[in-house]
Chains A and B, each alone.
Chain A
Amino acid sequence: MDVTEQSSETTASARCTPMTMIQALRSAMDVMLERDSNVVVFGQDVGYFGGVFRCTEGLQKKYGQSRVFDAPISEGGIVGAAVGMGAYGLRAVVEIQFADYFYPASDQIVSEAARLRYRSVGDFTAPITIRMPCGGGIYGGQTHSQSPEAMFTHVCGLRTVMPSNPYDAKGLLIAAIECDDPVIFLEPKRLYNGPFDGHHDSPVIPWSQHRLGAVPEGYYTVALASASVLRPGSELTVLTYGTMVFVAEAAAAEAGIDAEIIDLRSIWPLDLETIVASVRKTGRCVVVHEATRTSGFGAELVALVQEHCFYQLEAPIERVTGWDTPYPHAQEWAYFPGPERVAAGFKRAMQG
């Protein structure tokens, strides 16, 4: 699907520039800091230094210390302060340095940000965006590799988003910042600098060589709760997001299967319509995610497909996921659901 056709986004100013995902995210924050004086950006190392992944580089210099600043190493404090700022009327965009470190902020995310609108009947809201790099494939070991999306999708009141490319990253981040609900914005760090097909021994392809690395310079949004069909196909529907999107694409090509690959982009609330239409068409479905399997978001996807497409299914729904172990360090590539494992899942679904 061509980027210009993507569902319901606001039309961008035509000028596109090649951007990495990091540059695209920075551009989104830049655009929003410029457009809305109530937007503030803070987190660990994000101010003067510009973030350990450089996503906020230059923003403090441009917008000043009171709008882009460093925070103490306290995830609970960062999110708690953001909730208080939301009550005041600001839109805080905060960075948790790695998704693996959101746990100290759980109470503020789950009990506060997610439920403030509900419990106060809209008297107070928490229009905050919590960015966090997630996923493995960078030899980060168990504390720099987790994909905790299911922890958030289980929480009512949160929106959980995970882009897979620079174009979506910028459009989704702008939509998240503008959204009046709290948004968990997961950034697959293995995709920061280029699309990753799971062949970790191959050289990295930069985003500048990928169509989705062409990003409009100005304001545009990618609608929340809208999936994109990364590759149309007829034989099999692949439901995936984040790091696994290009792995799935490679696996389909290598297995010679005409798979329709759906990049959920928004994990919850999600675009059920696109999913159901595709599975009803292909009759087969494989769910692919990097996170651990048990009670992973894939379980929800399988249940939804089963509820809505049971009579169109020609085979059991397959899941290809990370193993139910902590993310190992040295054995990272045995853990990661690479193209071979994904392709094997596709073949099982085709035979079933």
Chain B
Amino acid sequence: MTRHQALHLHVPEPTGRPGRETDFSYLRLSRAGKIRRPPVDTQALATRDLAYGLVRVLDDEGRALGPWASQIDPQLLRRGLAAMMKTRIFDARMLIAQRQKKMSFYMQCLGEEAIAIAHALALAPGDMCFPTYRQQGLLLVREDVDMVEMICQLLSNGRDPLKGRQLPVMYSYKRAGFFSISGNLATQFIQAVGWAMASAIKGDTRIASGWIGDGATAEADFDTALTFAHVYRAPVILNVVNNQWAISTFQGIAGGEGTTFAARGVGCGIASLRVDGNDFLAVHAASQWAAERARSNFGPTLIEWVTYRAGPHSSSDDPGKYRPADDWAHFPLGDPIARLKQHLIAIGAWSEKENEEAQRELEAQVAAAQKEAESHGTLADGHLRSAAEMFQDVYKELPEHLRRQRQELGV
């Protein structure tokens, strides 16, 4: 009989820690333009190579290469660039406002702006996103969502459309195809599938788009969503935003070591893509592919967006404690805003001067919106919604016991 060595438990460790630079070779990148683009009716199992590769369109010089480089209107790209710039400005200002105690909490999407924004531009009116707290770009790209109102939500002031009930950033915009954000991770993923099933049941043409982070894929709701999406061939896009981190744990702790999150999809019988999430053109092309597949009744697509959470997890987090401070600077997929700008300039559709002007104008826009929102109060100055509203909407109609409790509070 063979003698066995003592067993030992494997606990994944990131290659980089404070003071030790990350070796990003674990990402296994593909070169821009090298990954094939299958027809949208492809068999799920035939996407195996795509789930382990990395769809990229933009190369280091900002050229759009390969089969995923679609004919895309430069006007749309400029709109996308502006929305990304606006989102970054918005995040930076809101983080400062949080430091000034005008709001209790904030979450940025720094470094991930391309994903929500290019994706939103590939969806159709009426489609429904089931986002996490890091897809503010879905709202900021839209012209029909008022930035002032969003900031009022963040400030929990008298104009907060959510009446002070939700943490800042937990927006809800049904009319803008944005499902109410839950603080409980992953719950929205299976709900997105349910919404998509409903659309199919009703013979509708609208599709759903569900969102989840790399860390939250470890929740049961992730696997459940994949099973249901596959079983009922639901018209849904299942987005996994792999920004490498879940608070302080890197993606290896969520199950990403030696495999990809996209590969989970293939294992469940779902067409799956792994895409450079910092490449605006790749995000738009892959989103369009998945939306077209869903809308044509060919079923769900899982897309792993490879990106990097450049900022702290939230305003309560200090990433300097668990990862190298300059990690983002070494992240091989770069900065989505810089890359799209480089591309637009390369194709002659943008200039440094226009960029500077746009930056100035967007900063002024966000500052004006913030000023207006703050004129309705902030968490710090106590201009809050009435406490009586706390008792509403627990049920459709106020039941007797809540009426009594409201009286007890004296409001």
Q: Which residues of chain A have a CB within 8 Å of any CB of chain B?
A: 40, 66-67, 71-72, 74, 76-77, 80-90, 92, 104, 107-108, 111-112, 116-125, 156-157, 159, 179-181, 225, 269, 272
Contact = CB atoms under 8 A, between A and B. Distances in A.
B interface, size bucket = 35 or more
B395 A121 contact: no
A77 B393 contact: no
Contact of B197 (A85, A123, A157): A85
A125 B180 CA distance: 10
B87 to A, nearest CB: 22
Contacts of A82: 194
Contact of B184 (A72, A89, A111): A111
Given A112-B191, A120-B180, A88 B199 contact: yes
Contacts of B202: 88, 90
A80 B190 contact: yes
Of all A-B residue pairs in the complex, the 4 with the closest CB atoms, nearest first, are: A84-B194, A81-B194, A80-B190, A84-B191
B187 A111 contact: yes
A309 B187 CA distance: 43
B198 A272 contact: no
Given A77-B228, A86-B194, A121-B162, 19 more contacts: A40-B201, A72-B228, A76-B224, A77-B225, A80-B224, A84-B190, A84-B208, A85-B198, A87-B174, A88-B198, A89-B198, A90-B201, A92-B194, A108-B190, A111-B182, A112-B184, A117-B393, A118-B394, A124-B179
Nearest to A77: B224
Interface string B170-187: 101110000110111001
B165 A84 contact: no
A123 B174 contact: yes
B252 interface: no
Nearest to A69: B232
A81 B180 CA distance: 15
B247 interface: no
A179 B258 CA distance: 49
Contacts of B161: 121
Contacts of A77: 190, 221, 224-225, 227-228
A269 B221 contact: no
Given A80-B191, A118-B165, A123 B399 contact: no
A106 to B, nearest CB: 11
Contacts of A86: 194
Contact of B201 (A66, A119, A159): A66
A268 to B, nearest CB: 9
Contacts of A116: 180
Given A88-B195, A122-B393, A123-B180, A80 B221 contact: yes
B195 A157 contact: no
B182 A123 contact: no
B227 A74 contact: yes
Among B162, B192, B202: residue with most chain A CB under 10 A: B202
A180 to B, nearest CB: 5
A181 B187 contact: no
Given A74-B224, A74-B227, A80-B224, A87 B179 contact: yes
B195 A124 contact: no
Given A76-B224, A84-B192, A119 B395 contact: no
A76 B194 CA distance: 12
A71 B197 CA distance: 12
Contacts of A120: 162, 172, 174, 180
B8 interface: no
B98 to A, nearest CB: 21
Contacts of B198: 40, 84-85, 88-90
B3 interface: no
26 contacts: A67-B201, A71-B228, A72-B228, A74-B224, A74-B228, A76-B190, A77-B224, A80-B224, A85-B197, A85-B198, A87-B191, A87-B195, A88-B128, A88-B194, A88-B198, A104-B220, A107-B184, A111-B187, A119-B180, A120-B162, A120-B174, A121-B172, A122-B393, A123-B180, A124-B172, A157-B395
Contacts of A180: 396
A274 B224 CA distance: 43
B231 interface: yes
Interface in B145-190: 161-163, 165-166, 170, 172-174, 179-180, 182-184, 187, 190
B393 A84 contact: no
Nearest to B194: A84
Given A81-B197, A87-B191, A124-B179, A157 B394 contact: yes
A48 to B, nearest CB: 14
A134 B142 CA distance: 48
Contacts of A104: 220
Contacts of B187: 80, 107-108, 111-112
B139 interface: no
A330 B288 CA distance: 60
A85 B194 contact: yes
A46 B320 CA distance: 53
Contacts of B196: 84
B61 interface: no
A89 B206 CA distance: 13
Contact of B172 (A111, A112, A119): A119
A90 B202 CA distance: 9
Contact of B221 (A66, A76, A157): A76
